[in-house]
Structure 1
Amino acid sequence: MAADEATEQLIEIQALHQQAAVETMHAQDKADLHVKRTTKRKADPEDGQRAEEVVQTLRQAIEKYKDPRVALNKGFRPFLPNAPQPYYHYTKKLNRFKAPLTFDPAQPTSLLYRRTDSGFELIGAMYMASKDSSERELHALVPLSVAQWHAHVNVCIPPKGTTDWARFGVKGSIATEKDCKKAGGQFVPQLFGWMLPVFPFEDAPEKIWAQ
């Protein structure tokens, strides 16, 4: 594959990832072919406190980024800032690199902003974890009785020049390797790692951990 083609494909995959992350937070269909979620657990006595500690740490850590210029100065970069989106991801490459290796509630992979008439409003952040993480390991990071991590799975990347998003991508009808190969696409069992959006400025747990 030529270098320019590889770059174009990477951009396509990143666009799919962005689309998936945004749409998952608004998804109503819990049986999505391309979204895998952790199983809701019965609460342990310490789960509420553990979750609240994550929220408090995150809220304090990202308060300074309410001004997007501060986020830019600290290395966060917006993804597709000119494309209409419900939420805009400002991602820091270093945090994304470290995410599969260690979990630091004060260092989310991405900041989440909503566009307003006056600019951008900080509403939350996104954590990532290794795609190889077990539910037990994810539960150790944030209790699964409170939050649900999600991953984007069974994705068929379209062949170059194809824009048939009804069949390909994170909302496409193709969800098996066999069908993807038949259509000339590239099958990806899981796009990137596990993801968890958190909205620490909300006033109720169901909103803070909204999916």
Structure 2
Amino acid sequence: MRVPILVLVFLVFAALSTLSCSGKPSPHATEEPPPSTGHVDTEDDLMHGDHEAEAVLAMSNPQTHLGPHFRWTTLRPTNQADQATAWDFLRHLRQDLAPFREYRFAEDEGYETFLPNVRQTHYHFTRKTNGFKANFKFDPKQPTSLLYRDAPGGYELEGAMFTAPKWASEEDLNKRIPLSVAQWHAHVNICLPQKKDLQHADWKKFGPKGSILTKAECDQANGRFYPQLFGWMVHIYPYAETPEQIWAH
């Protein structure tokens, strides 16, 4: 079956689904997920209705990044050239992100928050055109997403997320941000239920935290298996205190 081009486009939007809310984010998020719309846009929408929150929470929780549904690039030996490249990148990133400390400026620039009414570890403000362009060229001035956390009266800027196409090699990723400094990750071996079963699926088995890890298991559960869902991504926290925190994941 031929995959529609629209589906391929949405694969590059890391940690996102096309059910993203387009309204302005609430400065006081709640634990309640948004109501179900009864509509799924593409084959790669992670969840539907109430379960959409589960997808972003799984991707936002640092503890889940150690699970079997994550693939990491190999951390290369440290060298002076990579260190110089990385810190020059970081210096410019801090300058470029300065205007976005005010989250309303990010909105004015076309960044939209994902699930603003669901409490999250990190809120992704995403500019979809940046994600699409990252499929073909790396522009350090145009991160796919800006990362915020809750703060009194709004949101506080934490960092940025950069993405790359899922067909990128480790050498391709190394040219974007050195792999001796940062590790890119991808969401892999994801089994999703059929669309008609989304509302009542067992999410202990399905999804980015599910127990199903192979296509054979997914087929047996009548699911849809994705060897890799979305492209590669890396989160950078330029205001953190230590290198380990800056290049956390």
Provide the TM-score with structure 2 as the length reference. Answer: 0.77
Task: Show CA shifts across 1:63-94 (max 9, x none).
Answer: 10111110000000000000010110000011
1:7/1:103 CA distance change after superposition, 3 Å: same
Number of residue pairs matched by the alignment:
205
Task: Show CA shifts across 1:7-61 (max 9, x none).
Answer: 27654359466334312xx12763x210000011012320101111221122111
Identity rate, percent: 43
CA RMSD of aligned residues (A): 1.9
Secondary structure in structure 1 of the residue aligned to 2:222: coil
1:97/1:28 CA distance change after superposition, 3 Å: closer
Among 178, 184, 191, the residue aligned to 2:216? 178
Q: Does 1:12 align with 2:46?
A: yes
Task: Show CA shifts across 1:101-138 (max 9, x none).
Answer: 11111110000000123320000010001101111111
Task: Show CA shifts across 1:132-187 (max 9, x none).
Answer: 11111111111111100000000001232333111000110001111111111110
Which residue number corresponds to residue 190 of structure 1? 228
Query: Gapped runs of 5+ residues in structure 2?
Result: 1-37
Q: Does 1:142 align with 2:180?
A: no
Please give the residue correspondences for 1:20-59 in structure 2 after superposition, counting only pairs within 5 Å: 20-23=58-61, 26-27=62-63, 30=66, 32-59=67-94
Given that residues 20 and 152 in structure 1 are in contact (C-alpha distance below 8 angstroms), is that contact kept between their aligned partners in structure 2? no
Query: Gapped runs of 5+ residues in structure 1?
Result: none
Amino acid in the other structure paired with 1:124 = G
Among 144, 167, 182, the residue aligned to 1:132? 167
Please give the residue correspondences for 1:99-178 in structure 2 after superposition, counting only pairs within 5 Å: 99-159=134-194, 160=197, 161-178=199-216
Secondary structure in structure 2 of the residue aligned to 1:43: coil
Q: Does 1:84 align with 2:119?
A: yes
Matched residues in 2 for 1:8 and 1:102: separation? 25
Provide the TM-score with structure 1 as the length reference. Answer: 0.90
Given that residues 129 and 194 in structure 1 are in contact (C-alpha distance below 8 angstroms), is that contact kept between their aligned partners in structure 2? yes
Given that residues 47 and 55 in structure 2 are in contact (C-alpha distance below 8 angstroms), is that contact kept between their aligned partners in structure 1? yes
Matched residues in 2 for 1:12 and 1:140: separation? 30
Matched residues in 2 for 1:75 and 1:150: separation? 25
